[in-house]
Amino acid sequence: MSEAANIHATAIVVGRTGLLFSGPSGWGKSMLAFTCMTEARRLGLFTALVADDQVLLSEETGTVIATCPPSIAGLIELRGTGIVRQDHIPQAAMHYAVLPASASGENRVPPDGEFVSFATGISLPALRLLTGVPSPLAVLMAKAPDIGD
């Protein structure tokens, strides 16, 4: 197992799929993750928060593992609303990094096969998502049909 890197992100699980929301401060990582968890529950899928704001990432036998610092377990900050409790698990394998998308210009259609690196030996396939989409989980599932399995 590699030494854990503490990154500014939000990690959730939908079904058995780990989603790591990463991007600049104010992008809406927490709200997008929360909305995805709400959508998953409506679809009858298992979902849980792993960590919000601080995620400890490590690599274990080729798998990226997200762990929550104990002091923030089960807590997610919804900007403008406050901190709320969610069903949570202390750690989970991560399968995709969810990153901000661009609605215009030459980056409007992100490249296929994009990966993002978080630390030495820790990278994930990237899925791009616009903030403010009404059903972010549906968009992610359209791009990666294995989400929720």
Give, for 48, the enclosing helix (H) or strand (E). strand 47-60
Q: What is the mean pLDDT of residues 46-71?
A: 96
Q: What is the pTM of this model?
A: 0.93
57, pLDDT greater than 80: yes
Q: What is the pLDDT at residue 140?
A: 95
Q: What is the DSSP string of 101-134?
A: --SSGGGSSPPTT-EEEEETTEEEEEEEE-TT-S
Each residue of 124-138: pLDDT tens digit? Answer: 999 999 888 899 999
Q: Token pair of 27, please?
A: 């992008």
Cα Rg for the chain, rounded, in angstroms?
14
Domains and CATH numbers, the chain: 3-141 (3.40.50.300)
C-alpha–C-alpha distance, residues 62 and 70, integer Å: 24
Do 137 and 144 touch, CB atoms closer than 8 A? Answer: no
Q: What is the mean pLDDT of residues 119-125?
A: 91
- Average model confidence (pLDDT) across the chain: 91
Q: Token pair of 48, please?
A: 């849980």
Q: To which residue do tokens 């030495």 refer? A: 120
C-alpha–C-alpha distance, residues 118 and 11, integer Å: 13
**Which of 9, 12, 17, 30 has its CA nearest to residue 141?**
17
67, pLDDT greater than 90: yes
C-alpha–C-alpha distance, residues 56 and 131, integer Å: 24
107, pLDDT greater than 70: no
**pLDDT-based confidence at residue 26 (cuts at 50, 70, 90):** confident
23, pLDDT greater than 70: yes
